[in-house]
Amino acid sequence: MPALLTYKTPVLAEWVDYNGHLRDAFYLLIFSHATDALMDQLGLASTDREASGHSLFTLECHLNYLHEVKLGAQVEVRTQLLGHDRKRLHIYHSLHLLEATETLAASEQMLLHVELAGPRSAPFTGAVLSKVEALGEAHRQLPTPAWVGHVIGLPG
């Protein structure tokens, strides 16, 4: 199974800066919408969250801006589940022009499954756990993307 196609959008005029490029914050907005779509696929859509009282919170996010994205570009996000444990998902989003291979931006994220009443961390259960495990198995053989595991720092 390839990475999931989780989100498509045109780059809107209000997302573009004085250089004619997608503003840095809107890359994260696009990736956030892709995370929402992943949640939907895992059984954590809005109605599911209301019924179960569970959701995902973002613990950490690394964002790499690789190529400029301009007004009107049609972009899509592909999402890969890199790993998971009882309570967390380690995911990778990549931004592309529609059906293109070149990665325009990349975001590695750690998400935590929570019980909203606390809020406090909670293990995946039931159908959500089954979907997480199935996706993890399907993505286990995918190669690790080049932009995973990078650390910010100046050469020493």
Q: What is the pLDDT of residues 100-115, one digit of tens each?
A: 999 999 999 999 999 9
Q: Please report which helix (H) or strand (E) contains residue 4, including its range.
A: strand 4-10
pTM of this prediction? 0.95
Q: What is the pLDDT of residues 116-134, one digit of tens each?
A: 999 999 999 999 999 999 9
- Percent of the chain with pLDDT strictly greater than 90: 94
Residue at 88: amino acid letter: R
CB 50 within 8 A of CB 44: no
Q: Which CATH superfamily is domain 4-139 in?
A: Hotdog Thioesterase (3.10.129.10)
Please check the confidence at residue 155 and state whether its pLDDT lies above 90.
Answer: no
Every domain of the chain and the residues it spans: 4-139
Residue at 100: amino acid letter: A
Averaged pLDDT score across all residues of the chain? 96
Q: Where are the alpha helices (DSSP H) in the chain?
A: 24-42, 46-52, 126-139
- 3-class DSSP state for residue 146? coil
CB 32 within 8 A of CB 9: no
CB 112 within 8 A of CB 121: yes
